[in-house]
Amino acid sequence: MKNVIVIGAGKSTPSLIDYLKDHAQPCDWHVTVADCDLAAAEARVAGHDRCSAIRLNVENEVRVAEVVKGADLVVSMVPAHMHGPVAEAATHHRTHMVSASYVSPDIRALQEAAEHNGVTLLSEMGVDPGIDHMSAMDKLDELRADNAKIKAFETFTGGLVAPESDDNPWSYKFTWNPRNVVIAGQGGVKFKLNNRYKYVPYHKLFTRYEPLSVPGWGDFEGYPNRDSLRYRRHYDLFGIDTIYRGTMRRPGFCRAWDCLVQLGLTDDSFVIDNLQDMTYRDFVNSFLWYDKDMSVELKVRAMLKLDLNSPSFDRLEWLGLFEKRPIGLDRGTPAQVLQKLLEDKWALAPDDRDMIVMLHKFTYEKGGKIWQTQSYMVTLGEDQQRTAMAKTVGLPAAIAAKLVLTGEITRRGVIIPTVADVYDPVLAELRDHGICFEEQTAEIESNGRSV
Amino acid sequence: MKNVIVIGAGKSTPSLIDYLKDHAQPCDWHVTVADCDLAAAEARVAGHDRCSAIRLNVENEVRVAEVVKGADLVVSMVPAHMHGPVAEAATHHRTHMVSASYVSPDIRALQEAAEHNGVTLLSEMGVDPGIDHMSAMDKLDELRADNAKIKAFETFTGGLVAPESDDNPWSYKFTWNPRNVVIAGQGGVKFKLNNRYKYVPYHKLFTRYEPLSVPGWGDFEGYPNRDSLRYRRHYDLFGIDTIYRGTMRRPGFCRAWDCLVQLGLTDDSFVIDNLQDMTYRDFVNSFLWYDKDMSVELKVRAMLKLDLNSPSFDRLEWLGLFEKRPIGLDRGTPAQVLQKLLEDKWALAPDDRDMIVMLHKFTYEKGGKIWQTQSYMVTLGEDQQRTAMAKTVGLPAAIAAKLVLTGEITRRGVIIPTVADVYDPVLAELRDHGICFEEQTAEIESNGRSV
């Protein structure tokens, strides 16, 4: 019998742990779920006879090492900065590891030791990163095998709400870490477009969105993500003219979010010390010039040049930014104040379902013509536990864990799923779980319009 | 005979050292100038018979302590972050210290020891900080003694060029640290206006300037400095409705600088890795959207909404931003690239003279009426050595050094020149050196307009 340990029992783990439990009998596994909150771990185990729960503080490296030592494979679902010690223990004790997080420098540094010890450290095995890598490489490798010359690769992912839960003017609710949403785009955006390097300053980012649509799922918009250029290395796309990674939102989101950016409400670079006596209205007013006769609403309209019937203004108003309601914080950055407001307004209701959308656009030359293939995947949440996020993050990691233990994945060392012997079997099994890509191909003019 | 040591022989020290040399005979001093560059120290000494030069590496704390130990007073003109070890040695060896830099936390921590040892650690004794504190407190104390109720305090300082050297469309050249000019305003701007707290996000900062004028010296504009609020503590102005510190530039500067900000060229938050093959024109284009038909100039005009005869556009063009000239850097942040360009274009010519301008506005209630006193000081450079910056930074420190050694300043511990027994004698002697404030007072309406 093999031992699998899952460290972390948070929101992204229900589908992962269910998969491991479902395969415990046929694969002859025992699954241990470890979390600092024992009750949370027990809830995931749910009395399964081949599964047990233990309490584990991941900050306690000695205990982590003990737990990892006794396992054949560890699935590390801890916060991003804590994977390092888990990976180190795994390498030392010859335990394979799978995680859904980015390869960190401390994991990268284990390459040689992991190879030497015959250990697989498979990272970026979630949705983004994860399914994005696998689906992109699957298509890119197919195109290259077909002698197509790849000219452009654009890719977009969004964590959104299912259409029937889309009931606010932003068409958005928090389905993941709110702070990352509030400060998204700060710190430099880089991509390449038509053979030109492009950089977008933060205060222009949400005006540089582009319209997108996904057949059957309607319209979206995409704004650029941080550093698209480094994906040239991952996907072996060094000669490519256009490489662009973006985040997907529903139409109107970016323009309205840009209003918050322009006002300064997403600023995370300084602390306001005197929030105790402020309402949200005072907070907004503190970013506007003084005028004894103009209302806060009028100053916002004037500063942002918003018409009376501006949908963006309606979105600001819907958030309650002009309400004389106390903020209820003593001090904080503008971004922290905004996050507090948004956590109220953009909370998922108990019966809301989330939705993950991914869209790739591959533009290539073949047979003297230019073609574009759009490849897309939409996954809906089933309930509060089996959210789209939990399924798309957890299932790739779970499937990979199985394939490593059954010997179908034989690569050792530090790897990510950009290689066919990993992405092929994982994508095949994801399809059985309803996570699959559809695609459409059309000839286009070289300027990107369809013929 | 007393020993005075000046650590640092940089650009801000010629007037300081000349003053100390001039007083060496009457005050019976020996002056030692210490610098890591012995030739620079010797050039300042210039063979004076009561003055000598030594080589000193300020990073070598043991040597610094030895040198400080042998002196009665040390004037610390080292880079801001290096004052701590000098102050510590001074406190330990009962040597007084004067510096032109802000009180750092490590200096603040020496308060008790300095008082116990009877040592004066006098900081912020330059121009800004320094002359700003002294001239503001001189007037504020006078107004308070006169039972005026102070409603608003606004203060502006600018390091500019003398009118006859003002020969470029920006009316600006570098007279001080170029990097500080390029990244000015990043990291949060706070002030209070008409009893409202105000915060200005960086991308709006250079649109929030106000027009200023100084009698006899023409028009200026002022944009807000980082944290004006903390000056309430220094100046005992806690109940005040308006407190605002700003930087002065000549008219048109802020609008044109805002263009650079909007384009993203002052961004210091990410590194561009592939500058080798870029011209300044490519650099600007990398911040603009792709369009195969529009020129870089046209895209800049469209993005910034600049007319054909826009003075701001002319200023951008004058800088050479559209030239196909190689940048000559391998990698760097956008701000570093811009700084390289500006260092060429905004270099002082050998016969250029600099100019320091300071303007205070005090608004107060007295006898049932509202009054505003404007107090201003303009100092011109004399030559490449005795620049306005060197005079206004160096003379206050030099005069204070004399007053501590002659026993006219008797305060001990960590102090700044906001107290009358320091600012009174220093301001009096600065007047003898031509650094003096003039003032005009007028009754105004409560809305700030003159009656």
pLDDT grade for A81, boundaries at 50, 70 and 90: confident
Find, in chain A, the residue whose alpha carbon is nearest to that of B198. Answer: A286
Cβ pair B267:A196 closer than 8 A: no
Residue in B188, B194, B290 nearest the CB of A269: B188
Q: Which residue(s) pair with B248 in the sheet?
A: B222
Find, among B348, B339, B431, B242, the residue nearest to A292 by Cα: B242
Cβ pair B262:A186 closer than 8 A: no
> Average pLDDT for residues A28-54, to the nearest whole number?
96
Find, in chain A, the residue whose alpha carbon is nearest to that of B270. Answer: A188
Q: Which residue(s) pair with B122 in the sheet?
A: B98, B415
Cβ pair B197:A274 closer than 8 A: yes
How far A305 CA lies from chain B's nearest CA (Å)?
14
Residue in B186, B197, B289 nearest the CB of A208: B289
Cβ pair A187:B270 closer than 8 A: yes
Taking CB atoms and an 8 Å cutoff, what residues of chain A touch B269?
Answer: 186-188, 202
| Residues B257, A302: Cα–Cα separation, whole Å | 22
- Beta strand A354-366 with B438-444 is unpaired
Taking a C-beta distance cutoff of 8 angstroms, is the pair A371, A442 a contact?
A: yes
Find, in chain B, the residue whose alpha carbon is nearest to that of A265. Answer: B201
Find, among B363, B374, B362, the residue nearest to B215 by Cα: B374
> Average pLDDT for residues A188-197, to the nearest whole number?
92
Is the preceding peptide bond at A396 cis, omega within 30 degrees of 0? no
pLDDT exceeds cutoff 90 at A79 = no
Residue in A187, A196, A267 nearest the CB of B201: A267
Cβ pair A197:B272 closer than 8 A: yes
Residue in B187, B267, B285 nearest the CB of A269: B187
Within 13 A of B74's CA, how many CA atoms are on the CB side?
Answer: 30
Taking a C-beta distance cutoff of 8 angstroms, is the pair B194, B242 a contact?
A: yes
Taking CB atoms and an 8 Å cutoff, what residues of chain A touch B190?
Answer: 270, 272
pLDDT at A367: 93
| Residues B40, B33: Cα–Cα separation, whole Å | 9
Question: Which residues are CB-contacts of B441 (< 8 A; sequence separation ≥ 6)?
Answer: B371, B372, B373, B374
Is the sign of the CA dihedral B48, B49, B55, B61 positive or negative? negative
Is the sign of the CA dihedral A70, A72, A78, A84 positive or negative? positive
Three-state DSSP at B19 gives helix
Find, among B217, B213, B200, B210, the residue nearest to B246 by Cα: B210
Find, in chain B, the residue whose alpha carbon is nearest to that of A261. Answer: B201
Taking CB atoms and an 8 Å cutoff, what residues of chain B touch A197?
Answer: 272, 274, 286
Cβ pair B292:A194 closer than 8 A: yes
pLDDT at B447: 66
| Residues B159, B165: Cα–Cα separation, whole Å | 13
Find, among A67, A126, A72, the residue nearest to A99 by Cα: A126
Interface of B with A (CB under 8 A): 186-188, 190, 193-194, 196-204, 208, 262-264, 267, 269-270, 272, 274, 285-290, 292, 334, 447
| Residues A58, A78: Cα–Cα separation, whole Å | 8
Interface of A with B (CB under 8 A): 186-188, 190, 193-194, 196-204, 208, 262-264, 267, 269-270, 272, 274, 285-290, 292, 334, 447
Taking CB atoms and an 8 Å cutoff, what residues of chain A touch B287?
Answer: 198-201
Cβ pair A272:B194 closer than 8 A: no
| Residues A110, B415: Cα–Cα separation, whole Å | 53
Per residue of chain B (451 residues), give pLDDT as tens: 999 999 999 999 999 999 999 999 999 999 999 999 999 999 999 999 999 999 999 999 999 999 999 999 999 999 888 899 999 999 999 999 999 999 999 999 999 999 999 999 999 999 999 999 999 999 999 999 999 999 999 999 999 999 999 999 999 999 988 999 999 999 889 999 999 999 999 999 999 999 999 999 999 999 999 999 989 999 999 889 999 999 999 999 999 999 999 999 999 999 999 899 899 999 999 999 999 899 999 999 999 999 988 999 999 999 999 999 999 999 999 999 999 999 999 999 999 999 999 999 999 999 999 999 999 999 999 998 999 999 999 999 999 999 999 999 999 999 999 999 999 999 999 999 999 999 999 999 876 666 6
Phi, psi for B52 (deg, rounded to 5): -140, 160
pLDDT at A451: 61
Taking CB atoms and an 8 Å cutoff, what residues of chain A touch B263?
Answer: 201
pLDDT at B176: 85
pLDDT exceeds cutoff 70 at A104 = yes
Residue in A204, A267, A272 nearest the CB of B264: A204
Distances, alpha carbon B2 to alpha carbons A186, A447, B49, B431, in Å: 55, 80, 15, 26
Q: Which of A151, A203, A238 to mutate to test the interface with B (most CBs of B within 10 A)?
A: A203
Q: Strand order in B413-415's β-sheet? A: B51-55, B29-35, B2-7, B73-76, B96-99, B120-122, B413-415
pLDDT exceeds cutoff 80 at A373 = yes
pLDDT at A303: 95
Residue in A197, A269, A274 nearest the CB of B286: A197
Residue in B199, B267, B285 nearest the CB of A264: B199
| Residues A440, A257: Cα–Cα separation, whole Å | 31
Phi, psi for B343 (deg, rounded to 5): -65, -30
Cβ pair A287:B198 closer than 8 A: yes
**Interval A395-440: pLDDT, tens:** 999 999 999 999 999 999 999 999 999 999 999 999 999 999 999 9
pLDDT at B451: 62
Find, in chain A, the residue whose alpha carbon is nearest to that of B290. Answer: A193
| Residues A88, A107: Cα–Cα separation, whole Å | 8
pLDDT at B446: 73
CB atoms within 10 A of CB A270: 17
pLDDT grade for A308, boundaries at 50, 70 and 90: confident
pLDDT at A448: 65
Find, in chain A, the residue whose alpha carbon is nearest to that of B267. Answer: A201
How far B291 CA lies from chain A's nearest CA (Å)?
9
pLDDT at B449: 64
Q: Which of B204, B260, B294 to mutate to test the interface with A (most CBs of A within 10 A)?
A: B204
Residue/partner pairs of A36-42 with CB below 8 Å, 24 or more apart: A37/A9, A40/A9, A40/A10, A41/A9
Taking a C-beta distance cutoff of 8 angstroms, is the pair B21, B91 a contact?
A: no
pLDDT at A16: 98
Residues for chain B: how many in total? 451
Taking CB atoms and an 8 Å cutoff, what residues of chain B touch A199?
Answer: 264, 267, 270, 272, 286-287, 334
| Residues B96, B155: Cα–Cα separation, whole Å | 30
Taking a C-beta distance cutoff of 8 angstroms, is the pair A364, A149 a contact?
A: yes
Which tokens in the block code for residue A161?
Answer: 């709400």
**Interval B43-69: pLDDT, tens:** 999 999 999 999 999 999 999 999 999
Residue with tokens 């529903």: A250
User: Does the interface ipTM go beyond 0.90?
Assistant: no
Taking CB atoms and an 8 Å cutoff, what residues of chain B touch A287?
Answer: 198-201
Question: How big is the A-B interface in CB pairs under 8 Å?
Answer: 91
Taking CB atoms and an 8 Å cutoff, what residues of chain B touch A186?
Answer: 269
pLDDT at A450: 62
Average pLDDT, chain A: 95
Three-state DSSP at B419 gives coil
Task: Show the CA angle centred on residue A397, arms to residues A396 and A400, nearest 5°.
Answer: 85
Residue in A193, A198, A264 nearest the CB of B204: A264
